[in-house]
Amino acid sequence: MMINRLIIFANLFALFFIVSGCSKKPSDFPQVYSCTITVVNNGKPIEGATVTFNYESTGAVTVTAITDAQGIAKMQSLQLSYATNGAPAGKAKILLQKYPVIADTRTPEEKKGKTVEEREAFKQSLIDKINATPREIPDLFANLETTPLTIEIENKTTNLTIDIAKYANNK
């Protein structure tokens, strides 16, 4: 669970650099090629899924994107504060993650004056709710050891549709 949170944090951190602007291209940044991944479940698009490529060897380049309302993720490659659309050539495992969001609906007055124990108990109750909520994408796809998904990017545009129902039913 901690590794999954670290992966999510790394993806969000990387996306921060995309949104906040990019710097000069590093000299060791690989050539990238347009890559679009569509994520569906029985043909229904999955919005808000994080798609990450884990290459056998790409150095310090991270390749990630988040699916839109049509389930489409336009992959982006990141290294330090440089980002560009596309993915480097090579073979990679694909990780898919989408975790439920549980909101803290307490008012500011309800949050005031709480002891450390009360704050920790509330935090644990949110974690318990998240863990009890069914996943739209099974954890099978969020782990490098269990994901059945792979991709090979060649020196051309790559488009791939992943129907998780095909894999989730065969575990």
Query: At which residue do the structure tokens 């480097």 appear?
Result: 88
User: What does pTM read for this prediction?
Assistant: 0.71
d(CA 167, CA 55): 21
Maximum average pLDDT range among 19-23, 25-29, 82-86: 82-86
Q: Is the pLDDT of residue 21 over 60?
A: no
CB neighbour class for 58 (10 Å; exposed up to 12, middle 13-18, buried from 19): buried
In the chain, where the domains are located = 2-99+135-168, 103-133
Of the options 3.90.220.20, 3.40.640.10, 3.30.70.1150, 2.60.40.10, the CATH number for the domain spanning 2-99+135-168: 2.60.40.10
Q: Is the pLDDT of residue 112 over 80?
A: yes
Nearest by Cα to 140 from 170, 111, 114: 170
Looking at residues 135-149, what average pLDDT do you find?
91
Instruction: Tell me what pLDDT residue 10 has.
Output: 52
